[in-house]
């Protein structure tokens, strides 16, 4: 992307392009709405605009018109002005009845290239507001398009993922800057998936790995029967098991895998049909991205660090961002290795970190928040991965104070901790050593007893 170029500048106006959202909408109509909305921003000072994703066409119109005007978009489905004012970043504007209104005066100076802010996890102390730039979104979208789209094909990609997350947001801009069409949806349930796929006449999908896994495992024959014309699936936000990769490829469509997170979208990319002997990997980094493995044991894998054009500008909390950077490299909290051909192999999560739908959560932070809120003397979350190639975190919560599960989950959702537990176990038998550490082996016995 050229210097000072915005996402808006990359919109492709291909005449046959459309968006399916409840009905077919010619993209020219959306582009005209973007231009009309942009004109209403005359005289508006640069600041942060809160956008909700309830109506997908309104969201796209506002996203790209705000971007053209140089406004910074904070994607949040919080509509209450009172709640928006509680965010740890100062929201300057929001929309009321499709009109931009001011909440706070804008005084802070933001980076020129800052385009979008995503809130990737939340708690009273550790909310992360991630600064995505025009450049890093554009770079990722361009590289994906080069790898995925065939020159003589027209695609209608079904983006079956929440668009307030980096995965879907990246796919939206990939489509926007191409000649291809997209299909969007409100309710991410499986009956809706099949119905919309057929009605919209999709021929490709982008979907979180967990959702694709569930679709295939719930009723594979139904899945196979309903995606006959599928050209490809693009999968991210979590590990997609190797046996399902093989099973999917046997149906016929191509499978594109990538590894990344909000802070470093699409770090690696794998075209499974092009590299059939590498489908156990997450592919290679795009040119302009580097992966480094920092080993501190005799194991063949180590901590994953990333740097390159896909990295975001940082967090609103500069000190938190600095704590994640080591000599210019972003510390992911993941474990991995690189084979002799340069392909990245994912080995799981750091034991104190898990990834849910592309969002990293530190379990120590979650423990502290639950402990402080409910005033629990002793608490421990155990992250159990039973099979090396499964990589799905199974969490057990141990507490020594009786609390209803419903109360714990209500608290977690309130502060955007989108995690769940295999079991919540009450026990008074915490064994704590003289350094204050809890005996893990004793808690593991409790799991086996259950």
Q: Are 49 and 100 in contact (CB under 8 A)?
A: yes
- For residue 311, the 8-state DSSP code is B
Question: Band of the pLDDT at 444, cuts 50, 70, 90?
Answer: confident
Domain boundaries, the chain: 7-347, 356-449
Residue 41 structure tokens: 């921003």
Q: Are 266 and 285 in contact (CB under 8 A)?
A: no
CA distance 434 to 369: 23
- Of the listed ranges 130-144, 178-192, 297-311, the least confidently predicted one is 297-311
CA distance 444 to 448: 7
The neighbour count for residue 414, using CB atoms within 10 Å, is 11
Q: Are 336 and 304 in contact (CB under 8 A)?
A: yes
Could you read off the pLDDT of 215-228 as tens digits, one per residue?
A: 999 999 999 999 98
Handedness of CA 344, 346, 350, 356 (dihedral sign): positive
Q: Are 31 and 197 in contact (CB under 8 A)?
A: no
For residue 145, which of 175, 166, 181, 123 has the smallest C-alpha distance? 175
Write down the mean pLDDT value for the chain: 90
pTM: 0.81
Of 190 and 139, the structure prediction assigns the larger pLDDT to 139
Could you read off the pLDDT of 415-432 as tens digits, one per residue?
A: 888 888 999 999 988 876
| CATH 3.30.300.30, applies to 356-449 | yes
| CATH 3.40.50.12780, applies to 7-347 | yes
Mean pLDDT over residues 236-248, rounded?
90
What's the chain's Rg over C-alpha atoms? Answer: 22
- pLDDT above 50 (res 263): yes
Could you read off the pLDDT of 51-91 as tens digits, one per residue?
A: 999 999 999 999 999 999 999 999 998 878 888 888 989 99
In terms of C-beta density within 10 A (0-12 exposed, 13-18 middle, 19 or more buried), how is residue 373 classed? middle
Question: Band of the pLDDT at 95, cuts 50, 70, 90?
Answer: very high
Mean pLDDT over residues 108-115, rounded?
94
Residue 123, pLDDT score:
33
Residue 170 structure tokens: 């990246």
DSSP β-bridge partners for residue 353: 362
Could you read off the pLDDT of 324-334 as tens digits, one per residue?
A: 999 999 999 88
């Amino acid at each position: 992307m050229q210097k000072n170029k915005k996402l808006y500048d990359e919109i492709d106006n291909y005449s046959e392009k459309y968006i399916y959202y409840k009905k077919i909408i010619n993209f020219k109509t959306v582009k005209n709405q973007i231009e009309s909305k942009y004109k209403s921003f005359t005289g508006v000072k640069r600041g942060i605009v809160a956008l909700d994703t309830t109506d997908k066409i309104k969201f796209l119109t506002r996203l790209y018109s705000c971007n053209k005007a140089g406004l910074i978009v904070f994607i949040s489905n919080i509509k209450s002005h009172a709640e928006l004012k509680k965010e740890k970043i100062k929201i300057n504007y929001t929309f009321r009845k499709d009109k931009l209104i001011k909440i706070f005066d804008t005084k802070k100076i933001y980076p020129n290239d800052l385009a979008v802010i995503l809130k990737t996890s939340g708690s009273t102390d550790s909310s992360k507001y991630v600064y995505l730039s025009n450049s890093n979104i554009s770079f990722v979208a361009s590289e994906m398009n080069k790898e995925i789209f065939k020159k003589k094909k027209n695609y209608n990609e079904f983006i079956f993922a929440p668009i307030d997350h980096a995965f879907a947001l990246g796919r939206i801009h990939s489509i926007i800057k191409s000649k291809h069409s997209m299909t969007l949806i409100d309710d991410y349930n499986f009956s809706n998936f099949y119905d919309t796929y057929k009605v919209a006449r999709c021929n490709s999908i982008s979907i979180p790995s967990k959702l694709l896994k569930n679709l295939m495992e719930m009723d594979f024959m139904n899945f196979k029967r309903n995606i006959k014309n599928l050209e490809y699936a693009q999968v991210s936000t979590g590990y997609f098991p190797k046996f399902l990769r093989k099973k999917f490829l046997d149906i016929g469509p191509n499978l594109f895998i990538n590894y990344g997170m909000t802070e470093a979208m699409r770090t690696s990319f794998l075209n499974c049909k092009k590299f059939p002997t590498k489908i156990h990997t997450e592919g290679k980094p795009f040119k302009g991205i580097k992966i480094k493995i920092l080993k501190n044991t005799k194991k063949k894998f180590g901590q994953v660090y990333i740097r390159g054009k896909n990295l975001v500008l940082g967090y609103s909390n500069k000190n938190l961002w600095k704590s994640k950077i080591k000599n210019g490299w972003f510390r992911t909290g993941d474990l991995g290795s690189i084979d002799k051909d340069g392909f990245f192999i994912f080995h799981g999560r750091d034991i104190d970190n898990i990834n849910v739908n592309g969002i990293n959560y530190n379990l120590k932070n979650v423990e502290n928040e639950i402990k402080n809120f409910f005033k629990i003397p002793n608490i421990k979350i155990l992250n159990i991965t039973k099979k090396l190639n499964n990589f799905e975190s199974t969490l057990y919560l141990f507490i020594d104070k009786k609390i209803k599960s419903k109360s714990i989950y209500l608290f977690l959702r309130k502060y955007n901790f989108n995690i769940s537990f295999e079991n919540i176990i009450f026990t008074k038998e915490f064994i704590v050593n003289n350094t204050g550490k809890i005996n893990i082996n004793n808690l593991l016995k409790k799991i086996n007893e259950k």
